[in-house]
Amino acid sequence: MHDDAALLSAQVQAELDTIKGWFFPSDRRIFSWLLARQTELGVHGNLVELGSYLGKSAVLIGDYVQPGETFTVLDLFEGETSDAGNAAEQVDSYATLTEQRFAENYLRFHPQLPTVVRDVSSVIVDRVPAGSCRFVHVNASHLYDHVAVDVDSARTLLGEQGIVAFDDYRSEHCPGVAAAVWEGVLDKGLQVIGVSENKLYATWGDPEPWRTALLEWLTDDQNAWGQRLAVYDQSIVRAKAWFPRAMPPPPAPAPRPVAAPTPAKAPAVAPSAPGSGASGPSAPGARRPVAESAPAKAGAAGQPAEDVRREGRVKHLAKDLLPPVVSRHLARGLRARRR
């Protein structure tokens, strides 16, 4: 298990947020846990990312590459693609992407670049030896035809204890990813280890030891939460994890009054002590605790679990029953009370 200091330095939380991208705290922590655990267990192999964009997830994966392992990132970058749907994705979502910008970002964190391939994702099986990988991150095109090929490529590339992570497996803007991934489960022997809000983690090896260990980690770590869910004949893990919030510095001691001609009035509101439940300024890049905290544990800012639950219930009720203008006002009041 990581301690908090190691976790923050390994995952370069604030610095990683200087790179634009779609790689959120739950998955950053799950990637780190999976990649570190593979190494702890002696699982050795190459790492591949299909779709790196500006390098947000690649930088973190790069933290875990071991001697003798290769890391290959593949992206179209500013290159051409052959089909119109994929070309439209590029224009709509990644118009300013260049390989140069990826490289500049990556080199801010690592002394050298991974192997970079500028091409469509289907060529990956010609660039990395079959069966040589321990980790493949599939995050390139979101169209069914492409992702179905990426599922096959991951199967070809992964070794026995290899793990594949699929991005956007359940988003409304890309049903083709969901179709290709669940087709992998139903028709291609893919075994799901677990799901987060944005990614699905799976293997063609034995999933059960990974599920058990993942759930154990999520349960033991105070900044994580997990449960088992059943889908088809598989008992998979639902996972959430977040970053511990940095403590604000303690308040400077107030100067002692020298002489008081008249008795001083007690302040209307006492200054809050660190850890008292009142939230201080967030660390740069920290996620809002409500978004990332889970129901059964204390909030990421140390807010007692019961308070978090009560606030959640009030918010839901307000949203369901009150006109938007009133519920917004109520939410503002709740936020002010927490400050």
Instruction: Please report, as residue ranges, which positions from 54 to 73 form the binding site for ligand SAM (by CB under 6 A).
Output: 56-57
By CB under 6 A, tell whether 139 contacts ligand SAM. yes
Residue 202 CB, shortest distance to ligand SAM, in Å, is 17
In the bound complex, what is the minimum distance in angstroms from residue 77's beta carbon to ligand SAM? 6
Residue 201 contacts ligand SAM per CB under 6 A: no
CB of 47 to ligand SAM, least distance (A): 13
> Smallest distance, Å, CB 145 to ligand SAM?
9
* One of 32, 121, 161, 293 touching ligand SAM (CB under 6 A): 121
Q: How many angstroms separate the CA atoms of 27 and 201, rounded?
A: 10
Residue 312 CA to residue 303 CA, distance in Å, equals 13
Is residue 211 a contact partner of residue 235, using CB atoms and an 8 Å limit?
Answer: yes
Residues 151 and 180 sit within 8 Å (Cβ to Cβ): yes
Please state, in angstroms and rounded to a whole number, the distance separating the CA atoms of residues 46 and 53.
Answer: 20
Candidates 19-27, 103-111, 156-164, 278-286: pick the segment binding ligand SAM (CB under 6 A).
Answer: 19-27
Dihedral, CA of residue 204, residue 208, residue 214 and residue 220, to nearest 10? -170
Tokens of 76: 């179209």
Give the whole-angstrom CA distance, residue 287 versus residue 113.
29
Nearest Cα neighbor of 304 from 284, 291, 289 is 289
120 near ligand SAM, judged by CB under 6 A: yes
Which residue in 279, 318, 314, 316 sits closest to 299, CA to CA? 279
Determine which residue in the list 13, 32, 46, 52 makes contact with ligand SAM, applying CB under 6 A.
Answer: 52
Q: Is position 94 an interface residue for ligand SAM (rule: CB under 6 A)?
A: yes
Does the footprint of ligand SAM cover residue 32 (CB under 6 A)? no
Task: Compute φ and ψ for 73, nearest 5 degrees.
Answer: -110, 140
Report residue 279 as tokens. Answer: 């939230």
Site string for ligand SAM, 303-332 (x = CB under 6 A): ------------------------------
CA-based radius of gyration for the chain: 23
Q: Which stretch binds ligand SAM (CB under 6 A): 50-58, 172-180, 246-254, 330-338?
A: 50-58
Q: Are 166 and 181 in contact (CB under 8 A)?
A: yes
Residue 25, interface with ligand SAM (CB under 6 A)?
Answer: no
| Helix, strand, coil tally for the chain in percent (to 5) | 40, 15, 45
**Residue from the set 11, 16, 23, 148 that interacts with ligand SAM by CB under 6 A:** 23
Please report whether residue 146 would count as binding ligand SAM according to CB under 6 A: yes
- List 24, 31, 33, 53, residue binding ligand SAM (CB under 6 A): 53
Nearer to ligand SAM among residue 88 and residue 326 (C-beta): 88
Residues that bind ligand SAM (CB under 6 A): 21-23, 51-53, 56-57, 74-76, 81, 86, 89-90, 94, 97, 120-121, 139-141, 146
